[in-house]
Amino acid sequence: MGLNKTIVRNMSRIEARKLGLALLVGCCIVILTYFVSMSETTVDQQLSVAYRVGTVEVVDGKISLQKPERLRKAEGGHGNTAEEKVHRTNFSAISPITAKEEKRESEKPKDEEILPPKREAERSQTMKPQVVEPICDFSDPRTEFCEMKGDVRIHGKSSSVVFVSPHQRSNEWKIVPYVRKQMGNVEKVSVRTASSPGGVPECTINRSVPAIVFALGGFTGNYYHDFTDVLLPLFLTARQFDGEVQFLITNIQVWWLHKYDPIIKRLTRYEFVDLDDSNQVLCHPHVMVGLRFHNDLTIQPTRAPNGYSMLDFTAFLRSAYSLQKAHAISLREHPDRKPRLLLVARNGTRRFTNVPEIVQMAEGLNYEVVRADADFGDVAGFAGVVNSCDVIMGVHGAGLTNLVFLPTNAVLIQIVPCCELEGMATHTFGFPSMGAGLNYLEYNISVEESTLSEKYPREHPVFTDPQSLHKQGWFKMGKIYLVKQNVKLDVNRFRPFLVRAMDLLGR
C-alpha cells in the first residue's frame, strides 16, 4: 500500500508538471497568435490606405485585374474558385490609391486597364534628361543646312553666326550657304554655339523676324541653276513666313536680284543685307544658314514646310509674274481650237538645224507654232510667252527650265541628244515636269539625227562606247555631247510625239 501511495503521489506530481507546462505553452501560443494577428492587421490596413493589391488574370487572351481574396469575401465573394485558379497568374499588380478610392475602384469592372504608378511617372519625368535638338543637318551629301531659334547673332564681315543657348555645348561648324557644298567659289560661314553670352559680340541691330543666310555664288547666272540652286530652295525655305523674313546674302550679285525681282519681292518684305559688307551684329530670333534642298528642280512634299509641292511653286511663280493661264487647253471642250506649241530654238549649242521643216510639220498637225528663246534678263517677258502655250519642245538645255511657267496639264517634249544621255535628261527635266503637273514626253534622237555623225566615223567610241567618255567626267563628256552636238530632227520619226501630245490635251 505504501508503495502504491508513493507511485500515485509521484504520478500526481508529474501530471501537475505536465499540466503546468501545457498551460504555459498554451498561453505563449495565445499571446504569440495575438501579436501576429495584430501585426498582420496593421500591415494590411497600411497597404489598404496606400495601395490596392490584386492579382492579374488572363481570360481569353486579355489581362484583367482581380481583387484580393479578402476583399471579394468582404463583398460576398467565395474566394478562389476552381475557374479562378486556372486563369490566375502568379504575379500581382500594385497601383497607388487612397482609402476612399479603393471603395470606388472595387465597384468598377474587373477588366479595367492597369495604370502605372503616378508618383513613379512623375519621378521618371523629372529625372528624364532634356533632349537638345541638333541645329545643323549634314546628312545630305549635296548640301548643308542649319536652323536656330533663340538668341542668334550674325556678324557679316567675319562671316560668323553665334547661337547663344544654355542648353548647347560650345561647338563650331563651317557651312557652305549654297546647295552645292563642294563649290569652291562660295565662302563658308562659321556657325557656333555658346552656352552663355560671355565673349559673344553684343547686338547692334535687333530684328523681330526670321533671317536666312545664303550665297549667290556657285553656278548662279545659268538659267537652270538659278532656279534649281537658288530660287526653288529659297521658296522652300522662305515661303512659309509669308514675306516676314529677311535675306542676309553673301557673294551677293545685285544684278541677279534685279533679274528675279518679282520672285524676291514675293518672298520677303524687307531689304536684303549684303553680309560681306556689313560690320553690324544683327540679332534675329530665328536664323537659317543655307537653303532647304530636296533635289534638282524638285520638291518632296513630305519634307517641305507646310507640305509644299512643285504645284505650289509653279502657282507661286504665276502669281509673282501675273500669268493668266492656269490650265492648258482642253481639246475635248474646245476641239476647234489650235493648241500653241512653243519651239525652243536655242541660239548656241544643241540647236535645231532644220527649224523650218519642224514648223511646217507641226502646223500640218494643226498646231499654232511659237518660235522664241528668252532674252537675257527678260524673265517676265518670256514667262508670259511660255504661259500662253500648251506644249513646249526643245533639245535638252537650260531653256526647258521655263517649264515652271507652263499651265497645269501642258505637255513638255524633251529631245535628248546622242548618246546615252537619257538618265541625265529625265532627272533634269522629266521628274520636275511630272511633279509640276505636266505631261512629259521624251524623244531620243538617233545617231543619224546628230551632227556628231559629221565629225566622227560611225565606229568611233563616241557612238559605239559612250560610257567610256561618260566615265571621264562631266566636262570631258559635256565637251563632246553637249557642246559639239546639234540636232537635225527627223520629222517623220518625231511626228508621233506631236500626235501623242494632242491626245494628252484631249483628255
- Full set of structural domains in the chain with CATH: 12-127 (no CATH), 138-307 (no CATH), 320-505 (3.40.50)
Work out the pLDDT band at 347, boundaries 50, 70, 90.
Answer: confident
pLDDT of 82 above 70: no
- Which among 346, 350, 347, 348 is positioned nearest to 481, based on CA atoms? 350
pLDDT of 433 above 80: yes
pLDDT of 353 above 70: yes
pLDDT of 21 above 90: no
Mean pLDDT of 67-71: 42
Helices (H) and strands (E) in the chain, counts: 18, 18
Residue bearing the bigger pLDDT, 94 or 9: 9
pLDDT of 411 above 80: yes
pLDDT of 14 above 90: no
Mean pLDDT over the full length of the chain = 82
Structural contact between residues 223 and 193, judged by C-beta atoms closer than 8 angstroms: no
pLDDT of 125: 47
Cell numbers for 307, please give them: 507640305
Mean pLDDT of 144-167: 94
Residue bearing the bigger pLDDT, 88 or 410: 410
pLDDT of 115 above 50: no
Report percent pLDDT > 90 for the chain: 67
Cell numbers for 87, please give them: 486563369
Residue with C-alpha cell 514626253? 441
pLDDT of 273 above 60: yes
pLDDT of 128 above 80: no
Angle of helix 99-106 relative to helix 2-50, nearest 10 degrees, comes to 90
pLDDT of 348: 81
Residue bearing the bigger pLDDT, 148 or 108: 148
Cell numbers for 206, please give them: 535687333
Determine the Cα–Cα distance for residues 358 and 128; give it in Å rounded to an integer: 71
Work out the pLDDT band at 54, boundaries 50, 70, 90.
Answer: very low
CB environment 294-315: b (16+ within 10 A), e (fewer)? bebbbbeeeebeeebbbebbbb
Backbone angles phi, psi at 162, to 5 degrees: -120, 130
Report percent pLDDT > 70 for the chain: 73
Work out the pLDDT band at 53, boundaries 50, 70, 90.
Answer: very low
- Contacts within 8 Å (CB) and 24+ apart, 355-364: 357/489, 357/491, 358/489, 358/491, 358/494, 361/491, 361/494, 361/495, 361/498, 362/498
Determine the Cα–Cα distance for residues 144 and 152; give it in Å rounded to an integer: 18
Mean pLDDT of 427-455: 97
Q: Name, in order, each residue with C-beta under 8 angstroms of 310's C-beta and a sequence gap of 6 or more.
A: 298, 299, 432, 435, 436, 437
Structural contact between residues 108 and 116, judged by C-beta atoms closer than 8 angstroms: no
Mean pLDDT of 114-122: 48
pLDDT of 81 above 60: no
Q: Looking at the DSSP assignment, which residues form a beta bridge with residue 58?
A: 63
pLDDT of 88 above 50: no
pLDDT of 36: 45
Mean pLDDT of 284-311: 96
Structural contact between residues 267 and 239, judged by C-beta atoms closer than 8 angstroms: yes
Longest dimension (CA), the chain: 160
Q: Which of 25-34, 79-88, 291-300, 331-340 has the lowest mean pLDDT?
A: 79-88
- Which among 399, 440, 445, 450 is positioned nearest to 422, based on CA atoms? 445
pLDDT of 323 above 50: yes
pLDDT of 5 above 80: no
Mean pLDDT of 96-111: 45
